[in-house]
Every structure is written in structure tokens, then in C-alpha cells.
Amino acid sequence: MKSNLIDKLKSRKAVIGIVGLGYVGLPLTLRYCEVGYKVIGFDIDEDKIDIINRGDSYIEHISAESIRKAVAAGFEPTTDFSRAAEVDALILCVPTPLNKYREPDLSFVLDTADSLVPYLHRDMVVSLESTTYPGTTDEELKPRIEARGLAVGSDIFLVFSPEREDPGNQNFSTRTIPKVCGGHTPGCLEVGLALYGSVIDKVVPVSSTRAAELTKLLENIHRSVNIGLVNEMKIVADKMGIDIHEVIRAAATKPFGFVPYFPGPGIGGHCIPIDPFYLTWKAREYGMHTRFIELAGEINSSMPDYVVAKVADGLNSRRKSINGSKILILGIAYKKNVDDMRESPSVFLMEKLRDLGASIAYSDPHIPVFPKMRQHQFSLSSVQLTADSLKDFDCVLLTTDHDKFDYDLIGLNSQLLVDCRGKFREPADHIIKA
């Protein structure tokens, strides 16, 4: 069975099923369609299915033209999970958030797996791409699959291959980002390499699904810890009257032994604010307390409060309070040049300032209307930046440094400008670094 499946995958005759058509699943879908695979895309969101069928896109950096080409090539989006019976490969790209206790919430993965299990069959491969703690694939997915009467490693093949999407990154694409893959058995790994080998330039094999799961966590913990370090350095530098961005730029001239990370108002996206907690939670099972990781998380999660204090100081110096002030947030995406708002520190800042009595508005060229979110509600539309509109606000708070912003316009016309991104290098009485 393994050889038959590998042959189908390598000859591109296999039908690929991708579950979750978001920032990870949709680009992967388009890549499989691009090289000639038949793809069925699964999602529980009817609106996404309707948008795709119209030939439109709901993710800014994915063009409508690429969607239309995929549909013309046979891509079928659906909410009907029974069609999983038609595929040779299932790739799960669903969210893995935290619950209100900052513990792993695997409900999306497990509910999706439970919905798919009745339609699993022999001679197919299941790949999990959702970031999670080591052991999820073999502790949670494997028993569910084998309850169907399918032996993993002989009847059906199970792998973990963590997503590495970076929305808005012009230097790397789904095809060019190397892909780690670990199998439950050597045979599973062999099938996994065939699954991804035709669409990804370089597939990196590791010895197990647990090694692949931990690889993804290490990547994001590495970033979280270094961002935590530079955020703490920002506070120290500020107390000393030193511009941390100038220091980072100078340190980055060293051609070895230093990687520049930049401070901000917090950390956002679906990975870095969340993934480290998956490991800290799992480590407790082994009697380990991951103090270094948790300290970085504490520092990063405290940054919005630091920024609010800077806003308060700036307004206070002008004999104003946050309560009653009009504050404009520049950029509500979690990083520059994208429309992705997942875990954006800008939104947490908006809520904190609103709770303190401020009148909040925002401007973001990538997000014209504040979207419906499970945890955050604002009935706002993006403010067009003009000299008059900027002057109307007591404070302008730069949280996401999109390239589309006119920084000369912003600098000249803001009464008070709090800069969280180091965009304004020249000191000015009305500019505060945060």
C-alpha cells in the first residue's frame, strides 16, 4: 500500500484534501493546484467557500487571480467533510489557540479529526500542520485513527509537518520555505516526504512526529525570547536616555554573532504569543518549569501597559488625561504590510485605552473596516490620514509601521506622536519613543 500511495503522490495523481482554508491552508492549496494536483478544500466557514467560488480572495496578499486559476484547475472548496473519503491525503491546517487559562486549546484539531475519522480509509496519509506540543500527533490523532480499524504505518500513514507561513514576506513563499516533516514510523515519513516533495523545494526529514512538533516550538520560542530581551533592553535604554533603535542598528553591523530583533508594543500573530505556552504546559508533565520561556512571555505581554504609560505621560505633559482624549492608532495588523490581526498588540492597546476613557479611532491601509472578532469588538472604520485629520487627535500612536503610511505627513501634523516602532529617528518635542 505504501508504494502505491507514494507512486500516486509523486505522479500527482493523488487527490489532496486540505482542511482549514486560512493563512496556512489556502496558500498550500494554491501551491498544490499550481503543480497539477486535484485539491478539495475543507472549511466550516460558508463565507470563505462562497468567496472562493466567486473567484475572490479574503486574504490581502493572496490575489483573486490565483484563486480563479485554482478553481479553473479543479480546486473544490466545501463544507462537506464526508468528501474526505475521496482524497488520498488529508492535511490539517486548523487553529491551535490558548484557552482563558493560557493552556493549549486543541478543540479545533480534535473536533476536526473526529469529523474526519469516519471517512478515513486505507492507502492514505494524514498530516497535521497545526502548531502544538510534542506528543499531540501520536497521543491524540493516532488513537482516533486506529479506532477506525486502520493500523498507522501499514494501512494508513501519519505525519506532522509544521507550517512556516510568513504572510507578507516577499522573499519567501510556500514553495521556497524549507519544510520539516516527521513520521510516526519510517514508512510514514517516506510517504510524508512524497506528499510534500513535489510542492516544496526542500523537505527536511526528522526522526519522529515529536521532533517535528518541538522543532516548530523552538523556532517560535527563539523569536519570543529574543523579542522579550530587546523589549526589556528598550526599557533600560529609555531610562538611560538612549535610543534602542540606534543601538540595534549599530550592533547589527557586526558580521557575526548578532541577529537584530526589534522592540514593539507587544507581540502578535498566531504563533509567537501562543506557541511557547504549549511547551511550558507540556513540560509540567515532565516536572519541568520553563522559567526562561515564561519570563520572555511576561515581558512581551507587559509591553501594552508600558505603551499606555508612555501615552499617559505624553498627554500629562500637555495637561491632558487619557480619559476624554482622542487617540488615533496607526496600524492594527500584528505586523507591517499585512491584513492579519491575529493577537495584534494594537487591539489590546485600543481596549486598554478605551477602558481608561479615551475616544479611539484607527487608521490602517490594509484593514478598511474593523472585522468581527471573537474577543474584540470595535465598530470602527479606518480614518483617512490628512493634515487636518491628524491635527484633530490629542495623540497619535504608531503601533504597526506599514510602508503605506506617509511618515512625513504624520510627523508634521500630529500634536503628540508616540512611536512604538522607531520610525522617527530625529528627536522632537512632540515625539515620544515607546
Of the residues 93, 188, 271, 420, only one is catalytic, namely: 271
User: Residues 292-305, buried b or exposed e (16+ Cβ, 10 A)?
Assistant: ebeebbebbbebbe
Check if the beta carbon of residue 372 is closer than 8 Å to that of residue 405: no
Query: What is the spatial distance between Cα 174 and Cα 172, in angstroms, rounded to a whole number?
Result: 7
Query: What is the spatial distance between Cα 247 and Cα 229, in angstroms, rounded to a whole number?
Result: 14
Query: What is the spatial distance between Cα 296 and Cα 232, in angstroms, rounded to a whole number?
Result: 9
Helices (H), 252-355: 275-283, 291-316, 345-355
Q: Reply yes or no on whether 188 is catalytic.
A: no
Q: Which helix (H) or strand (E) holds 18?
A: strand 15-19
Strand ranges inside 117-192, DSSP E: 124-128, 156-160, 179-183
C-alpha cell at 239: 531610562
Residues with Cβ within 8 Å of residue 433, at least 6 apart in sequence: 238, 243, 244, 245, 419, 422, 424
Query: What is the spatial distance between Cα 306 and Cα 178, in angstroms, rounded to a whole number?
Result: 37
Three-state secondary structure readout of 56-71: CCCCCCCCHHHHHHHH
Residues with Cβ within 8 Å of residue 139, at least 6 apart in sequence: none
| Residue in the structure block whose three cell numbers are 469516519 | 118
CA-wise closest residue to 71 among 88, 50, 87, 86: 50
- The residues pairing with 360 across neighbouring beta strands, listed in sequence order, are 327
Cβ atoms < 10 Å from Cβ of 164: 18
- The residues pairing with 159 across neighbouring beta strands, listed in sequence order, are 127, 183
Q: How far is CA 173 from CA 12, 24, 170, 293, in A?
A: 21, 11, 7, 29
**1 burial type by CB count under 10 A (0-12 exposed, 13-18 middle, 19+ buried):** middle
- The residues carrying an active-site annotation are 271
